Amino acid sequence: MNDRPLDVGWLRIFDAVGRLGSLTKAAQELGLSQPAVTYQIRRIEEQLGVALFHRSQGGSRLSEPGEALYRAVHSGLERIDEAARDIRRRARAPAIRIFTDYGFAAYWLMPRVADFRRLHPQVEVHIVASQSLEDESEGDIDAAVLFGGRDDFPQHARLLMPERVVPVCTPGFLARFGPFDEPATLARAPLLHLETAGKPRWLTWTTWLAAHGVTREPAQGDLGLNTYGFVIQAALAEQGIALGWIGLVDAFLAAGALVAVAPEVERRDFGYWLVSHRPDGAARALTDWLLGEA
């Protein structure tokens, strides 16, 4: 059996025929003659020793081996084209990618990033958000703003904001269910929980209440949500009391849409940390700006 690697100059031709189901249409799309396309397809079939298409007056339909080859070729070409677009984009203008969670992206970074873009109009900014720390290692990330404790991050990580948490709700919810004179009375109200897989890195209602000597099990009327944006939206919809992270809920507090209803709890060894992966050029400009803003 001949195991010689295939000549790959035919990739575009094969992909076009497989995608369009027609030698003629493929030739038109590629700017080639039909005999040239037919010749290339036959060369591939000769190298593989199988028919890749069922040919008829209605067109060219992929055979079973042809389907297998088409899936590999089409996927490979998509990845090559994506890489080429990314290379061209980076050649046109500096591009930086910053990774963070949904809450920080929506409530702290997005309202401010326009200021950075005005200062550095030549820099292209990509914000990648996820609720999982593990996703931070995927892709070409220049910097990350991640929540956790000092021991969760490398030594060069810098603390942007310590964790400061205050319970918040709308004035209307407070009027209906309050006043909350002490944490024990607050614990009897419906609470909004930010759910996460594994051990939470941030304060939860259990740990916030424990800091005030209160023990409480999840109660009927509580609501669990898997992103902080949903938690805030539920609080604004008067569905319960949320834990508000200072730095993320400031605009809502300033506008009076949310009000603080209990004392603040602070953990200075926890918070949002800036981790830089490329300390030069546009990435350095971004990290310096983040530190200045925070």
Domain boundaries, the chain: 8-91, 95-158+271-293, 161-268
Torsion angle, alpha carbons of 105, 107, 112, 117, to 10? 30
Q: What is the pLDDT of residue 1?
A: 40
Among 252, 247, 246, 272, residue whose Cα is nearest residue 101: 272
User: And the tokens for 198?
Assistant: 């594994």
Do residues 163 and 200 lie in contact, with contact meaning Cβ atoms separated by under 8 Å?
Answer: no
Question: Does pLDDT of 151 surpass 60?
Answer: yes
- Say what the pTM is: 0.64
- Beta-carbon contacts of 178 under 8 Å, excluding residues fewer than 6 positions away, are 261
Strands 259-260 and 124-129: unpaired
- % the chain with pLDDT above 90: 29
Q: What is the pLDDT of residue 84?
A: 79
Average pLDDT over residues 33-39: 88
Average pLDDT over residues 151-164: 89
Average pLDDT over residues 223-243: 94
Q: What is the CA radius of gyration of the chain?
A: 28
Give the lowest-confidence range in 3-7, 151-155, 225-229, 276-280.
Answer: 3-7
Q: What is the pLDDT of residue 291?
A: 84
User: Which contiguous run of DSSP H or E holds residue 183?
Assistant: helix 183-186
**pLDDT of 43-68, one tens digit each?**
888 888 899 888 888 788 889 988 99
Domains 95-158+271-293 and 161-268 share a fold: yes
3-state secondary structure (DSSP) of residue 267: strand
Average pLDDT over residues 280-294: 80
Instruction: Give the residue with greater pLDDT, 224 vs 135.
Output: 224
Among 161, 174, 186, residue whose Cα is nearest residue 266: 161
Average pLDDT over residues 95-124: 86
Confidence of residue 7 (pLDDT cuts 50, 70, 90): low
Instruction: Give the residue with greater pLDDT, 157 vs 58.
Output: 157
Q: What is the mean pLDDT of the chain?
A: 85
Domain 161-268: CATH superfamily is Periplasmic binding protein-like II (3.40.190.10)
User: And the tokens for 287?
Assistant: 């990290």
Q: What angle do CA 230, 234, 237 make, to 5 degrees?
A: 140
Question: Does pLDDT of 244 surpass 80?
Answer: yes
**pLDDT of 249-274, one tens digit each?**
999 999 999 999 998 999 988 999 98
Which amino acid is located at 76 in the chain? G
Q: What is the CATH number of domain 95-158+271-293?
A: 3.40.190.10
**pLDDT of 177-191, one tens digit each?**
988 888 888 888 999
Confidence of residue 163 (pLDDT cuts 50, 70, 90): very high
Residue located via tokens 């490329």: 278
Distance CA 265, CA 239 (A): 23
Please give the CATH architecture assigned to the domain spanning 8-91.
Answer: Orthogonal Bundle (1.10)
Question: Does pLDDT of 105 surpass 50?
Answer: yes
Question: Does pLDDT of 282 surpass 50?
Answer: yes
Which residues are paired to 100 by β-bridges? 129, 145
Confidence of residue 234 (pLDDT cuts 50, 70, 90): very high
Instruction: Give the residue with greater pLDDT, 124 vs 243.
Output: 243
3-state secondary structure (DSSP) of residue 135: helix
Question: Does pLDDT of 167 surpass 90?
Answer: yes
Using omega within 30 degrees of 0 as the cis cutoff, is the peptide bond preceding 35 cis?
A: no
Average pLDDT over residues 17-37: 87
User: And the tokens for 293?
Assistant: 């803003």
- % the chain with pLDDT above 70: 91
Q: What is the pLDDT of residue 123?
A: 79
DSSP state of 273: E
Instruction: Give the residue with greater pLDDT, 80 vs 7.
Output: 80
